[in-house]
Structure 1
Amino acid sequence: MRLNSIFSAALVISILTSCTAWKGQWKAKSRGPSSEIISTDVLNYSQTIIDKVATREFNSLNCSAELDQYKLFYDSLLKKLSTEDMKSQGLDILEKNFQARLAIHSSLEVLPTECKSKIKSLYLSMRLAEDFVGVHLYSDAQISADKIKYKEQPVPIYEADKYHPYYVGVGIDSKEKFQFKNGDIMITKGISFVSSTISELASPKSVYSHIVFVHVHEKTGIVSTIESYVGQGVSLFTIDDALKNENARIVVLRPKDSLLAAKAANYMYEKVQKLKEGKKVIPYDYNLDFNDNSRLSCEEVAYDSFKVMSEGKMIIPEIESEILLDDAKFLKRIGVKKGAMMVPTDMETDSRFSLVLDWTDYRVIRDSWRKDALLGEMFRWIQDYDYRIYENATSVAAKIIWSTRYIPGLWTMMSKISGIPADFTKDVPSITISTMASLKTIGSILLEEVTRADNESFKTKGRWLTKNELSEALDRFRQSNPKNLRKVFREKK
């Protein structure tokens, strides 16, 4: 669909009336006295964005300045929106905010590159505002992801009544069980230090860490996912397993070219299935070399599929993020280089995909935020203060233990001791194992501190810390020169 049809008022109105929360259409609630002014401002502001898209007041000529204003507004919400407003008007705010994001998404196809890049940053601000409202609205007990037995949980999206409402886009019936289509892409947010490394490292930062490629069998209708993981390579999973993974967030994007999408998904599914029958796998790509499809990372699974089946005509994403960190040694440790790089969030602003579903698990949002904040601060300290990761007993032991992986009997025992999965593929570089161990050591120290500060804020003020406040708490901890942290993470000597 091109310019005229995308921006027709009729289509935009259709989008706005079709996108719903799982529990029904958005309904404005009666407003109270002056305490409701801020929440009303939020609703009105989101509606203004929707109206500007519908009337083309938001367009390719003014989008840059408009997006700057939108971002400033949403950045201010976390400090200005009262706890009472979030509790009383939270549902309305979440729904209207989603509609505003959906409206902006409908304009992607005609916007210049500069504006698409700014939309990534705006989406982050809007997401953080939604998360902040959601955790105060629902008042879920904030728990660590490692306390949840995910495989025993209800299936997100499918068992909708077991979770808070999710949101769907145009043409999706919110009252019916969601139906995946062949070639759908899910972008998700895991809840681990590695996941936060992915979401915090690139610029702009994001709330995603993984890409899942969906396959729907043409004859049986069985839904599977094609995913690549460190230490595992490319594998096939049931849709239930994929949805019940450790996800704080799941977004489903649907390719507008459904025929190409189906071909791409079939191509990769059949390739992986054939290798599986021969007890082989496509290894994980630790070098993130998009020109070599003999090894694939999670992003490369979808990238390679669309590239091959379109004969190079559809390269995803339209716009890559950037790695700005200067420390080449650290970047080498985590397998990336400074410069442009595809990360999961890039798919959210690819105009060739429609936003069809948006789900959040508010129970673990604080855990996710804390880990994001501490990884973000770690990268800032590396960049601004020349911090370095120093080997410690855990990281050294991890490398030594990993060196036994080719000795079957010994490796089985050492795997149990170390916690490294026994079925990890043997091609995982030792530096990856060491870095993961170091991140866990440093992350655990910082997580304890930021969790304490966050819980203290909620206990004394009834309000969780904002993302900036989490970062400030971490930096105060750094400035106190804690001995346990400085043993493993400090300035370069």
Structure 2
Amino acid sequence: MKKRLLTSGLCLLSLTIPIGCQQKSYRTPSSLKNSNFDSLIHEMHESVSKGVKSPKECAQKTQYYYGKLFEIESDDIDFSEFSKYQMQDFTMASFNIRLDLKEKLKALNSNDELTQEELACLKGVKTIFRALRYLEDYFIESYYASRQKGSKPIDFNTLDYSNNKIKDLPVHFMVNPDYSFEGVEDLKSGDIILSRGNAYSSAAIARIGDDDHQFSHLTLVYRDEKTNKLYTSEAHIEVGNVVAPFQVHLDQKNSRTVVFRHKDEKLAHLAGKIMHERFSKYSKEKKKNVPYDFAMDYHDDSEVFCSEVIYHGYKKASEQLSSKSMDIPEYKTTFNPALLSFLQDFGLKVTSENISSFKTFGPGEIQFDSRFDLVAEWRNPNKLKDTRYKDAVLTKIFEWMENKNYAFDPGLGTKLGNDFAWLARRSIVTRGLIKFVAGVDLEEKFPLNLGSKQIDLFVVLDEVGEQLYKKIEIAEKEKGKILSFKEMFEVLENYRVQDEKVYGQYLKDKKFNQKQMHGGSRRNGVRRRRKLTRPDFHHLFHSS
């Protein structure tokens, strides 16, 4: 059976969990007992209870089984063979595996410097997390794609399914069985919202570090003690750091939203309150917002990026309550030296001397901090395809930078009008936020520390990304099935090779034409000019 290949890979994931703490058992979905996933669930719980003997074994097995998962292609899974209930039960079973994996990470001693084997184990767990989440996405997409033809499109509201009038079970909204969580009304002060934006810059942030993640933004929640109203404290490229009603955050309509919570409610509430009051006071007194920190230097809070809001909130709260400084996250983000030029253009204060030791707080790292529980995870099924495409695009872009010395090259024509065009486009995405901050719709009130180099980078990233995106879109339409990451990577690599050849000929023909223009009369030069065939994206992104 085609499904057998899938189960054979997933069954073994359970063996990746390191030993050293008590096992949390989650209920096996009953409908899986009569499906081909029976062996998966049985072997998973059996293997979890046994654990592994060392971080080295953990690293070896996570690497091996991630390879098995990566080899799964679209033809290996026939979603028509699954009932809707089996699709939902699979996503819940996979979600519970991830909860178990997160629980088991407590075995790693984050207070000490991790050994190479422990780092490899941690990296392996991160890759399994990512792979499982993508598999869940495939089932969620297929679940809603299987609705009757002619059914009205569903407008999915973040962290909510009750108002969508969905008769089906909410397969896209999963809750940790240790918590009672039905939606926004159950959020508390200090809760951390991990989300994924819709832009290519969001995809870049999600995958900018050594470890690829699926998230690009962090938000700190505050619930007012007197009014019980919910607010967010968060940093955005367009407006800096703001405090806004929670509805403004919901209006962003992100593709992914995950809620994390610290068990110490007093600490969490104080963290949310501190940042709420700081940003509110600053904006009121200075008539501007705390600037966005493109340098991603979480040690300096004069400028603040999204993850830094969380870092300083909990740091200051812990110092007030216990005189001990809480350092978040337990495992920091590191960078590949091959991305130095891109990181510098993005705004990070990295150099060839410090990049190997430079660490920051990438949004996705909060998933693996043992002090914060994953409470609930919500996805917008309508945006999963878009997010998947962009993840594949940015993975390959960074891979080409690292292995083929590619770099972005915004030409003069590309730069003209970049400031207005890019900011206007981004304004549409964050219309509600800008309206709340500026008082009028789409007023160009952006942070002054957003430089032209950064805008040039964002613009050319969008242009190159769109070309690669279209190629995946065409390939998936021709296939008639959801492409796996392996398949998408193959499509993009073949496209790169093809477009690179066009670029090479384009440069030759352009040089020939220039020589003709300088070597003879204008009339003769024009007559002998070669027709130029412009590449799709290599004129903006190529090896140096």
Give the equivalent residue in structure 2 for 1:28.
31
Match of 2:385 among 357, 363, 366: 366
- 8 Å CA contact retained: 2:156, 2:380: no
- 8 Å CA contact retained: 2:283, 2:290: no
1:419-473: CA deviations, max 9, x gaps?
9961222221111111111111211222222211122212xxxx11111211211
User: Helix, strand or coil for the counterpart of 1:201?
Assistant: coil
Rounded Cα–Cα distance in structure 2 between residues aligned with 1:246 and 1:433: 24
1:371-422: CA deviations, max 9, x gaps?
11112111111222222212235541135759x99xxxxxxxxxxxxx9961
Cα–Cα, structure 1 residues 178 and 107, in superposed 2: closer, same or farther, change >3 Å? Answer: farther
Query: Is 1:450 equivalent to 2:472 in the alignment?
Result: yes
Rounded Cα–Cα distance in structure 2 between residues aligned with 1:50 and 1:398: 57
TM-score by length of 2: 0.74
Cα–Cα, structure 1 residues 216 and 352, in superposed 2: closer, same or farther, change >3 Å? Answer: same
Cα–Cα, structure 1 residues 27 and 385, in superposed 2: closer, same or farther, change >3 Å? Answer: same
Rounded Cα–Cα distance in structure 1 between residues aligned with 2:333 and 2:300: 20
Computing the radius of gyration from Cα coordinates, the structure with the larger value is 2
Rounded Cα–Cα distance in structure 1 between residues aligned with 2:370 and 2:330: 8
Rounded Cα–Cα distance in structure 2 between residues aligned with 1:84 and 1:66: 31
Cα–Cα, structure 1 residues 393 and 316, in superposed 2: closer, same or farther, change >3 Å? Answer: same
Rounded Cα–Cα distance in structure 1 between residues aligned with 2:123 and 2:398: 21
Structure 2 counterpart of 1:298, one-letter code: C
Query: Is 1:398 equivalent to 2:393 in the alignment?
Result: no
Give the equivalent residue in structure 1 for 2:396.
377
Give the equivalent residue in structure 2 for 1:274.
281
Percent sequence identity is: 23
User: Helix, strand or coil for the counterpart of 1:214?
Assistant: strand
Give the equivalent residue in structure 2 for 1:144.
none
Rounded Cα–Cα distance in structure 2 between residues aligned with 1:267 and 1:429: 30
1:42-77: CA deviations, max 9, x gaps?
x53345334444x35357665444534553454344
Query: Is 1:425 equivalent to 2:447 in the alignment?
Result: yes
- 8 Å CA contact retained: 2:339, 2:401: yes
Rounded Cα–Cα distance in structure 2 between residues aligned with 1:489 and 1:126: 32
Match of 1:98 among 95, 98, 101: 95
Q: Post-superposition, which runs of at least 4 consecutive aligned residues in structure 1 deviate over 6 A?
A: none
Structure 2 counterpart of 1:101, one-letter code: R
Query: Is 1:243 equivalent to 2:250 in the alignment?
Result: yes
Rounded Cα–Cα distance in structure 2 between residues aligned with 1:134 and 1:377: 25
Rounded Cα–Cα distance in structure 1 between residues aligned with 2:329 and 2:207: 19
Rounded Cα–Cα distance in structure 1 between residues aligned with 2:184 and 2:314: 28
Cα–Cα, structure 1 residues 104 and 427, in superposed 2: closer, same or farther, change >3 Å? Answer: same
Cα–Cα, structure 1 residues 274 and 204, in superposed 2: closer, same or farther, change >3 Å? Answer: same
Query: Is 1:71 equivalent to 2:27 in the alignment?
Result: no
1:128-180: CA deviations, max 9, x gaps?
11112222232179xxxxxx9xxx95632234452643111133235687501
- 8 Å CA contact retained: 1:47, 1:100: no
Give the equivalent residue in structure 2 for 1:288.
296
Q: Which has the higher contact order (CA 8 A, sep 6+)?
A: 1
Cα–Cα, structure 1 residues 50 and 226, in superposed 2: closer, same or farther, change >3 Å? Answer: farther
Rounded Cα–Cα distance in structure 1 between residues aligned with 2:220 and 2:311: 10
Cα–Cα, structure 1 residues 160 and 343, in superposed 2: closer, same or farther, change >3 Å? Answer: farther
- Aligned positions of 1:54-453 closer than 5 A: 55=49, 57-58=51-52, 63-68=58-63, 70-78=65-73, 80-86=76-82, 89-112=86-109, 113=114, 114=118, 115-139=121-145, 155-160=157-162, 162=164, 164-165=170-171, 166-173=173-180, 179-278=186-285, 279-311=287-319, 313-336=325-348, 337=350, 338-339=355-356, 340-393=359-412, 395-398=414-417, 422-453=444-475
Match of 2:540 among 485, 488, 491: 488
- The answer for unaligned runs of 5 or more in structure 1 is 1-5, 18-24, 142-147, 406-418
Cα–Cα, structure 1 residues 140 and 268, in superposed 2: closer, same or farther, change >3 Å? Answer: farther
- Work out the number of aligned pairs and report it: 440
- 8 Å CA contact retained: 2:464, 2:537: yes
Structure 2 counterpart of 1:27, one-letter code: S
- The answer for unaligned runs of 5 or more in structure 2 is 1-19, 148-152, 425-440, 503-534
